[in-house]
Amino acid sequence: MILFVGLGNPGARHARNRHNIGFMAIEAIAREHRFGPFRARFQGAVAEGLIGGERALLLTPQTFMNESGRSVGEAMRFHKIDLADLVVFHDELDLAPAKVRVKIGGGNAGHNGLRSITAHIGNDYKRVRLGIGHPGDKALVHNYVLSDFFKAEIGWVEAVCEAVARAADLLARGEDASFQNKVHLAVQAAGFGEKTAPA
């Protein structure tokens, strides 16, 4: 079984925040691959289904970002999921809006959700970095990630989430480069990607 985790903060107040693009990607995957309803488990919201013939668990921790690792660790221990079968979707300040990159391990770049997961289960898991751009000043980061996407940004946000959802079977099979390429081409075809300037 593979575990796809989206990072974000629970509650309607945070639903459209930049910090919640990981939640949005997981919701898009659930719709695209016709997962059952989400239910409360492992201090999170969980849905089970198939992605490209692979059994998959989708999880959005409801612990608030800084404690995401508690929820992820609980789900992994219960289902005996290896670190190699975990994929975490999260917002990435160091990538331009609409850019998507996959990496395994590495630093957490000040991301409290990743830091919490690493503290609970170790660092060598796969991350799908969903670019949201940087506000340009470190002092502005906190308010930037916890504010909603602008109306003008919603187009690329939806394009990225839909592209990620459609290519999720490649990720499930470990074909990370193909996944990244397919997402990039789909986002460009939708009119976003390289041409999108940071907000």
Contact predicate 183/100, CB 8 Å: yes
Indicate which residues carry an active-site annotation. Answer: 19
Strand ranges, E, within the chain: 2-6, 39-41, 44-51, 54-61, 86-92, 100-104, 126-131
Contact predicate 130/7, CB 8 Å: no
Per DSSP, 199 falls in state -
Report d(CA 185, CA 65) in Å as an integer.
Answer: 30
Contact predicate 113/126, CB 8 Å: no
Q: Which residues lie closer than 8 Å to 183 by C-beta, 6 or more apart?
A: 100, 160, 163, 164, 167
